[in-house]
Chain A
C-alpha cells in the first residue's frame, strides 16, 4: 500500500455526516450504513458494546468486526458451543499491519531459512510436503483475548472472549526444517517473519523469536493445514508457525522467513511489544510503573460456559444441562469444576474426549435449580500442572493474559 495523506472523500463523508448528524455524536460508535449489529454478553464495562457482524471477508462466515483494516475479526461466542474445534471460516483474525498480500501463489511461494546455519534454504511447498507430516490439536489465543473486560479499561483491540480458537494443525516439525539447514554452534534464537509488511517505511516489521531449544522441541511446527484444509489467507496461507501452549503472537502467519540468530533478538515486537509484568498472573495495580517486563509466553488455564447466556432463564426443579469448553494453557486440562452458589462450593464436571493436551476440552454437568431467583454459575479449570484459574481478575496496562474464573448469572423461574 502506498502512503498518501488521505483526504476525506467527499461522498462517503457527506453520507456519514448526514446519518451521524441525525442521531448525534453519541451514535459515533455505530456505522452509518445499514449493518447487522451485535452486542457482547456480558457487556464490556463502560462500552462501546456494539459491533457490526459482517460477512464480507473472503473465506470467512459471520464475524464480529473489531477493525476493518488491518483486519481484527472476532469469533461470535456461540460458535464455541458447536464443538471442540473452531471452523476455519469462524476462526478469529488478527493482523498488525495493513500491508497483507492478497494474492499468494502456491507454486512460486518460498520459505527462506538462513542466518547462523550451514546451508541457506529456499523451500517450496512441495519441498515442505516431502518432510515428515505431523498433526496436533492446539488452541490459538490472542494475548489480549478478553481485553475489553479489564477494569480500568485499557487501549487496544477491545475483544470480548472470542479472540481464540482450537484447530487440528497439520504440517512439519520446525526442528526438521532447522536440521535440514544445519544450525551452527553458537546459535541461540530463531526469528520468524511473514509476508505482511508495515504500511509506513520505517514502521517495525512484525518479527517474533523463540529460544533455539524451544524451536527444536519437536512440538513447534510449520502448519500448512488447519482442520484438514489449507489455511484461509486471513489465517496465514500458505504456512503458519504453530507454537503449542503459547500465545498467538508467536504463531507467525504467512511464514516466509526463518532466521537463526547468534544474538538475542531485540526487535520491537520482542523487546517492547507483547511484554507483561514479571509478577504472578502478570498483574499489577493500575497506575503502578515500577515493575520488570518480560516477553509474554505460555498460556494459562481458562474455562467458559457456552450453552447458557447471562440473564437466561432456567426452570426451577428441572434438571438443566450446563456445558462449555476449557483449556489448560501450556498443558492439559486436569479438571473443570462448577459452582452453583457464587464460588462457595464446587463440584466436578464430566470431561469430554481428550483431543490432546493443547486442545479445547468439552465439559458438562447437570444441575437442578432448587428455588426461583438469581443463580450464579461459575466455572473453574485446573490444568495438569495443578494451576488453577484465579478468583480475582488480573490487570496490566496491555490487557494481556486474562484468565479469571468466569461467572454467568442465570434466572431460575
Chain B
C-alpha cells in the first residue's frame, strides 16, 4: 500500500494491526529503528507572471519568497483586497518590495485577478 522510499520495515508490525488505539498514545513495540539521512532537490518554480511590461514589477519583486502559481491560483478579488495583500507581504512578511513598484504590482493584480 505504501510504495515508497526509505522504509523502516520493522516498525509497523506489532502494535499497529492488533492493538486498538485508544485516545492516549499507546506504548508500541520495541523493534530496532534506524534512520537514513535524506538529501533531495525541490522544484524551484521558474514560471513568470505573464504580461510583459505590466508584469515587470511583480516579476521583479514577488518571486524571491514564493513562486507565481500561488498568486495565479487566487480568486478574483477587489483592488482594495489586493492592496491589502501586497502591504501584508511588505509589513508582515518583510518582503523587500521597492516602494515605487507597489502601485504597478497592485495594478497588475487588479487587472488580471480583479473583481468588483
Chain A's closest residue to B47 (CB) is A31
- CA–CA, A153 and B113, complex, Å: 12
Contacts of A133 in B (CB 8 A): 27-30
Structural contact, A219 and B92, CB atoms closer than 8 A: no
Contacts of B25 in A (CB 8 A): 134-136, 173, 218-219, 221, 244
- In the complex, identify which listed stretch (A8-16, A111-119, A306-314) lies at the interface while the others stay far away: A8-16
Is B52 an interface residue when CB atoms closer than 8 A count as contact?
yes
Q: Is A32's CB under 8 angstroms from B41's CB?
A: no
From A6, A51, A59, A170, B11 is in contact (CB under 8 Å) with A170
From residue A54, how far is it (CB to closest CB) to chain B in Å? Answer: 8
Q: A204 in the interface, Cβ–Cβ < 8 Å?
A: yes
Pick the contact of A65 from B6, B26, B64, B69 — CB < 8 Å?
Answer: B69
Could you say which residues of chain B place their CB within 8 Å of the CB of A68?
43-45, 47, 67, 69
Chain A interface residue number, banded: 35 or more
The reply to whether B42 and A48 contact each other, CB–CB distance below 8 Å, is no
Contact A136 B4 (CB under 8 A): no
Q: Are A67 and B16 in contact (CB under 8 A)?
A: no
A203: interface (CB < 8 Å): yes
**Cα distance A128–B111 in the bound complex, in angstroms:** 53
Interface of A is mostly: loop
Interface pair A229/B7, CB less than 8 Å apart: yes
A134 touches B33 (CB 8 A): no
Given the interface contacts A6-B59, A204-B92, A229-B7, does A57 sit within 8 Å of B42 by beta carbon? yes
Could you say which residues of chain A place their CB within 8 Å of the CB of B74? 155, 158
B19, closest chain A residue (CB): A135
Beyond A106-B36, A155-B81, is A136–B92 a contact (Cβ under 8 Å)? Answer: no
A168 pairs with B12, CB closer than 8 A:
yes
A59 contact from B40, B60, B96, B112, Cβ within 8 A:
B40
Q: Which positions 1-36 of chain B face chain A at CB distance < 8 Å?
A: 1-8, 11-13, 15-16, 20-30, 33, 35-36
Give the interface size bracket for B toward A. 35 or more
Task: Collect the chain A residues with CB atoms within 8 Å of residue B15's CB.
Answer: 135
Taking the closest CB of chain B, its distance from the CB of A351, in whole angstroms, is 14
Q: How far, in angstroms, from A69 to B61 measured CA to CA in the complex?
A: 15
B38 at the A interface (CB under 8 A): yes
Q: Please tell me if A193 contacts chain B, counting CB pairs below 8 Å.
A: no
Give bound CA distance, A315 to B30, whole Å.
51
B107: Cβ under 8 A from any A Cβ: no
- Asked whether, in the complex, the Cβ of B42 is within 8 Å of the Cβ of A58, the reply is yes
Of B13, B52, B77, which contacts A17 at CB under 8 A?
B52
Q: Mark A16-42, 1 if CB is under 8 A from B, else 0.
A: 110010000100110110000000000
Residues of chain A at the chain B interface (Cβ within 8 Å) = 3-9, 12-13, 16-17, 20, 25, 28-29, 31-32, 44, 46-48, 51, 54, 56-59, 61, 65-72, 82-83, 87-89, 97-98, 100, 102-107, 125, 129, 132-137, 148, 153, 155, 157-158, 168, 170, 173, 198-204, 218-219, 221, 224-225, 227-230, 232-233, 237-238, 244, 268, 272, 331-332, 354-359
Q: Which 3 A-B pairs have the closest CB atoms?
A: A68-B45, A228-B12, A356-B21
What are 6 residue pairs bridging A and B, where the CB atoms are less than 8 Å apart in the complex?
A3-B64, A12-B46, A54-B43, A67-B45, A69-B45, A129-B33
Known A4-B64, A61-B3; 8 more pairs at CB < 8 Å: A13-B48, A28-B112, A51-B73, A68-B44, A104-B39, A136-B25, A218-B24, A244-B25
